[in-house]
Structure 1
Amino acid sequence: MSDAIFTPSRRSVLAAAGLAATTGCVRRVRSALDRETPRQLSLSVKTLPADADPAATRLARVLTENLRQVGINATLVPMELEELYRDVLLNQSFDLYIGTFPAFDDPDVLRLLLHSQFAVEPGWQNPFGVSDLSLDELLETQAMQSGRDRKQTLAAIQRRVARDQPFTVIAFPDEIRATRATSFLGWNPQWTGSTTDFLQLTPAELATSPSIPPAISESDAIATETNREPPADASTTTTQTTDTESAPEATATTTPTADSDMVTARMTIVDPRPTRNRNPLAVEFRGGIPLTDLVYDSLAKRVDGSLLPWAAESWSWETADSTMPTVTLTLRSGQTWHDGEPLTAEDVVFTYEFLADTSLGEFSTPVPAPVYRAESSLVSGVRALDGETVELEFAHASPEVAVNALTVPLLPEHIWEETARRASVAGIDTGRQVTEALVWGNPNPVGSGPFAFADATVDTFLSFTPFEDHFLAREDEDGPFEPFLNAFTFDRVRFDYVPSSAACVELLTLDRADATASPLAPQTARDIGRAEDLDFYVTPSTGFYHLGFNVRTAPLSDPRFRRAVASLLDKQHLVGSVFGGYATPATSPLDGTNFVPSDLEWDGEDAELPFVGSNGELNVERARQRFKDAGYRYTEGGKLVYG
């Protein structure tokens, strides 16, 4: 928490300024009783340390230095990822932060980010504290629309965001990954490490086997040594805990299989969080690596931009009232959870009720899951029609938006219902109701997905094995699922935590890994390109680096102040100096989609707030003038004060 600005008596200034009392890290404006000795405005900029995210750290350093140049006492505060997420997403304890927003599939994500309904909830839903009724109306309207009407409303929302700057979009990074060309066949040309990417892999030495689908011809086969996992050290075990208060550190009590004949897909990750916590609802532990999707199926899954029935075999829509549609889904027969229990319509009902309230009605107010909130908030009702048929009702959502709710992970009722109890965890605001479901480490996750959890060691590795009872393992599956039947031709997929991108590339070069699951730093691109046996993958991300403001507190509650701060970032220059060109500067959070209005498209500089300077060099005089124009003043010594 920053020791920022202002003198002891806050109430008098709030009254004089006509500001609503709010909470947060930034102390209020200097006291009206202390006008003769104003204190300099102080702000903290929270972000990740350089070893966790070099780009975020460098962006935060540039921002911090430029804030200092305009007279603000700015402090850079590097924090571990879980700590940063807890401060920003759970406790809302920050001034400014630099981070990345997770990738998304639909522009309804803006409702999650900005609607005042979510301002007091933990998670990525409105972490900035925006409260604007006219913006709420636009966000609700777009959710009920489709086609051209929705596009026009979304354009109005983007213009509002660009004008008011509750957060500042900096750039959309390119995701760089690499694979060993000779290890497996079936690498997706846009490899991202998604579940469907893994489902298409086949060990190269098995490519001529008659059990391999005919989509892989003999001419595609590449002879290579099988990826043998070396015998594991028998002393390598993990420790399990049943204490829910320490659940985020829980791991499975297992020993990696010492089977030298095991055919293993060897992956690297630079994010250790999945080795520590496998709870799909723990927002501070979930990030850009889609390992949760390996274990948990959803009713539908996006594949190459299309939504396919997945755990559901089929569905039909009733859209007589297009703003309150209903969908009836039929589950695939014979599905089971990884522990052998049957998956039924009651589990689907439980999933949606649980995501809406993880206390299952036991608390005075609902405690929704902070992850998948945008999707679950679309559902107004769910019921089982029989053991394999479910009906979902949607309030105030068009079918175009409502389908997003079909992509949440299905949770087994017999495991998760016991986590509806009250919990308390150090580091999470004690003023908020918390259930065990949100803090449990879920050391041995049980889902119904194509891969079952096998074992893990904290900050070392985790591994999964193909689930032989998954519907994809059935011989009669064909059509759109045929490319995904290859998952059952290898024995294990293992993710080794590696502390740096450079080390990941080195492991690939030494044939000690087959692919990178996490995106790599841009600096590794040259090494990958020079390596003879490595293939290079660059895919644009829909997630974006951004500057977040805590708008609950003054002066960050003032859009004029936020605009002046936003103009301190030369996005075009930062793409070159920080990302090595592997990123796209942007004004809108929907950049790269067909929903961006032409007046917000990037055209060499920010369409709304051009940088106050050139080539990364700040024009300090002009930048200070922006703060003066916004109503702020300076001391004779050049310190920015409020008033």
Structure 2
Amino acid sequence: MTLGSGCIEEAQSLVSRDNAKQIAFSIKTLPADADPRAIRIARFLAKRLNEVGIAAQVVPMERVELLSDILLDHTFDCYVACFPGFDEPDALRTLLHSRFSTGAGWQNPFGYANLNTDSQLIAQRKQSGLQRTKTIKQIQHSIARNQPFSVVAFPDEIRATRTDTFNGWANIQQPHSALGYLSVETSTEKSTLRMTTQDARPTENLNPLTAEYKSDEAIVDLLYDPLGRWIDGEVQTWLAHSWEWQSTPDSPEKGPIATIQLRDNLWWHDGESLTATDVAFTYQFLKDTALGSLENPVPSPRFRGAATLVKSATAIDDQTVRIHFNPASQAVARRAFTVPVLPKHIWEQKQKRANTVFENDTPATQALVWENLQAIGSGPLQFLNTEATEQLTLERFDHHFLRHIYRDEVTVNTSSDQPSHLEHLKRYASGPQFERLRFIVVPSGAAATQLVLNNEADATATGVSSADVRTIGRADNVQLHVDQSPAMYHVGFNARKTPFSNVRFRRAVAQLLDKEYLVEEVFDGYAKPAASPLARHDTLAEDLRWVDVDPELPFPGTNGTLNQAKAKDLFKDAGFRYTNNGKLLRQ
């Protein structure tokens, strides 16, 4: 028997298809005890992927290992995690611009490269007002089309606080934050505020520059002060008594210049004076932690975005520093004021090369691998002691400027300060009302809740799960708090690797997320599904606002159940093929 040419071609096609490999990849995330929401999202996605012929498996990993794979080594296919959120849309620049794709930390871990997005991210830095808002909306549309990551939901923060020890929680927007702790009021003679946390990393590492350890911004913000803080939606003076701009927003190509006057009597926790020299050093160091000693700069991963706004910083005298910015509007340039000021006499010694290397053999400096456990900052709290994986205790720093700005009924304590410069600090007058702040590490939200109920803790720092809501609500002397969080659960894709280098494949995978269903099933309704990373920012693109269904990638099914035929068509339309037994093949 002989075969015609058409039959031969068909047979060859069948053999080739049978020999082709099925698409298979892992979804990395935290284990259930560390983040039950993330792993449930990952399992939902894996199940839907299996239903459309992709061999996907969930790989739970310890937090530091997971963040190392995502933020340092980029050794992942895709992952599910919670991103801390955005104060300023310019943070999207370091998250997505192609120039940051080889960096460590939350600097384009996706390896995303899109020239149009790059130009928009650069343009918005120089713009202001409606023009900038328009560009930021275009960036959101680019993210929605290209899906370097897929937003799932913005969770609510559920917390328990005791009502018989410390007060004021109900009036605090973000309790677990530096400003939140400075707003807590005491109702007893207790001198130690006891908080539960499910993150043990700060008990072992307090380096604000370390990518895989740095997540709990509240603790670092209590230890280190910036020139300015986000207060009431804008960057306002903190270590800075004032700043004065020397160019107008109408000349962004030149880059603005700011002259900053520091407050009087600023001190480091070790008793050394904090001066303009420390401020100038900080910006130099964040841009290159090697201080020019290596062939190429080694920037701080954590603050690279803000640091790249600064062209140069110069100490004019002990209390005056002049900052020349790269082209940017004043609104964007102010973001650079929010980085933690570092003591030169401590960090200058950490410029030498470390044994550790990042992706592509990028060197690290000692500054990026140092544990910095007995941190020396200038913040309202200072390091006292720690027990690894058990607890961390900070104590009030009585030489902090907040302790001396106001006395009694908001009396100005220094002749140089004017009330107009201090109005936004009134609520934080005299610094923390407690003497010590202790973070107790717990394995789960349920364990955290139980400590509060037993009066072994005063409040939960990290949020607890919705399963604890009823328990908290029924308890005496314990109050339930539900607050919106800027944090964002998302699925990240590694665009450096096939098949995620294919934007149509990323879109097809992202469309398998039934976000409305996940909010109800995983978050018990204590979250808001979203299609944009700026869903909780006032620059949200109106056509990406969530109204019952994903406006960009609607789920092909109902109530979490996939319409497999429709879902498979998404991958066929993306140019992928199936075997006769339903396996999706690599291209």
Query: Normalized against structure 2, the TM-score is what?
Result: 0.92
In structure 2, the partner of 1:27 is: none
- Deviation for aligned residue 1:444: 0.4
Separation of aligned partners in 1, 2:211 and 2:258: 28
Aligned counterpart for 1:412 among listed residues 332, 338, 343: 343
Aligned counterpart for 1:423 among listed residues 348, 354, 358: 354
Q: Is 1:374 matched with 2:305?
A: yes
- Deviation for aligned residue 1:192: 2.2
Q: Is 1:578 matched with 2:509?
A: no
Cα pair 2:193 2:434 within 8 Å, conserved: yes
Question: SS at 1:641's partner residue?
Answer: coil
Q: AA paired with 1:340?
A: G
Cα pair 2:80 2:490 within 8 Å, conserved: yes
In structure 1, the partner of 2:148 is: 166
Cα pair 2:240 2:262 within 8 Å, conserved: yes
Q: AA paired with 1:131?
A: A
In structure 1, the partner of 2:506 is: 562
Structure 1 201/470 Cα, relative in aligned 2: closer, same or farther at 3 Å? same
Question: SS at 2:260's partner residue?
Answer: strand
Q: AA paired with 2:141?
A: R
Aligned counterpart for 1:472 among listed residues 399, 402, 416: 402
Aligned counterpart for 1:203 among listed residues 164, 168, 186: 186
- Deviation for aligned residue 1:190: 2.4
Cα pair 2:102 2:359 within 8 Å, conserved: no
In structure 1, the partner of 2:324 is: 393
- Deviation for aligned residue 1:429: 4.3
In structure 1, the partner of 2:258 is: 327
- Deviation for aligned residue 1:397: 0.9
Equivalences for residues 578-617 of structure 1 within 5 A: 578-617=522-561
In structure 2, the partner of 1:305 is: 233
Question: SS at 2:270's partner residue?
Answer: coil
Structure 1 401/360 Cα, relative in aligned 2: closer, same or farther at 3 Å? same
In structure 2, the partner of 1:175 is: 157
- Deviation for aligned residue 1:308: 2.1
Q: Which moved more, 1:115-124 or 1:477-486?
A: 477-486
Structure 1 339/412 Cα, relative in aligned 2: closer, same or farther at 3 Å? same
Q: Aligned-pair RMSD on alpha carbons?
A: 1.5
In structure 2, the partner of 1:250 is: none
Separation of aligned partners in 2, 1:607 and 1:36: 38
- Deviation for aligned residue 1:480: 3.2
Q: Is 1:454 matched with 2:384?
A: yes
What runs of 5+ residues in structure 1 fail to find an aligned partner? 1-32, 206-225, 228-262
Q: AA paired with 1:473?
A: R
Q: Is 1:58 matched with 2:2?
A: no
Query: Normalized against structure 1, the TM-score is what?
Result: 0.84
Separation of aligned partners in 2, 1:201 and 1:602: 34
Equivalences for residues 49-198 of structure 1 within 5 A: 49-187=31-169, 188-198=171-181
Q: AA paired with 1:79?
A: M
- Deviation for aligned residue 1:194: 1.2
Q: Is 1:276 matched with 2:276?
A: no
- Residues 415-446 of structure 1, C-alpha deviations (whole Å, 9 max, x = no match): 111111111238x5471211111111001000
Structure 1 489/587 Cα, relative in aligned 2: closer, same or farther at 3 Å? closer
Separation of aligned partners in 2, 1:373 and 1:525: 39
- Residues 434-470 of structure 1, C-alpha deviations (whole Å, 9 max, x = no match): 1111111001000001101100000110011111111
Q: Is 1:445 matched with 2:375?
A: yes
- Residues 40-79 of structure 1, C-alpha deviations (whole Å, 9 max, x = no match): 1111100000000000000000011111111111111100
- Deviation for aligned residue 1:591: 0.3
Aligned counterpart for 2:285 among listed residues 341, 348, 354: 354
- Residues 362-414 of structure 1, C-alpha deviations (whole Å, 9 max, x = no match): 11111110102211111111111111100111112101111011000010011
Separation of aligned partners in 2, 1:56 and 1:584: 15
Question: SS at 2:440's partner residue?
Answer: strand
Structure 1 115/429 Cα, relative in aligned 2: closer, same or farther at 3 Å? closer
Q: Which moved more, 1:299-308 or 1:493-502?
A: 299-308
Separation of aligned partners in 1, 2:481 and 2:62: 28
Separation of aligned partners in 2, 1:470 and 1:92: 40
Separation of aligned partners in 1, 2:99 and 2:328: 16
- Deviation for aligned residue 1:626: 0.9
- Deviation for aligned residue 1:195: 1.3
In structure 2, the partner of 1:632 is: 576
Separation of aligned partners in 1, 2:51 and 2:216: 34
Cα pair 2:235 2:335 within 8 Å, conserved: no
Q: AA paired with 1:454?
A: L
Q: AA paired with 2:376?
A: V
- Deviation for aligned residue 1:532: 2.2
In structure 2, the partner of 1:481 is: 425
Q: Is 1:510 matched with 2:454?
A: yes
Aligned counterpart for 2:192 among listed residues 264, 285, 309: 264
- Deviation for aligned residue 1:486: 4.8
Q: Is 1:338 matched with 2:320?
A: no
Question: SS at 1:626's partner residue?
Answer: helix
Question: SS at 1:423's partner residue?
Answer: strand
Q: AA paired with 2:550?
A: D
Question: SS at 1:286's partner residue?
Answer: coil
Structure 1 111/289 Cα, relative in aligned 2: closer, same or farther at 3 Å? closer
Cα pair 1:378 1:402 within 8 Å, conserved: yes
Cα pair 1:509 1:531 within 8 Å, conserved: yes
Cα pair 1:380 1:393 within 8 Å, conserved: yes
Cα pair 1:67 1:73 within 8 Å, conserved: yes
Cα pair 1:191 1:537 within 8 Å, conserved: no
- Deviation for aligned residue 1:487: 3.6
Q: AA paired with 1:467?
A: F
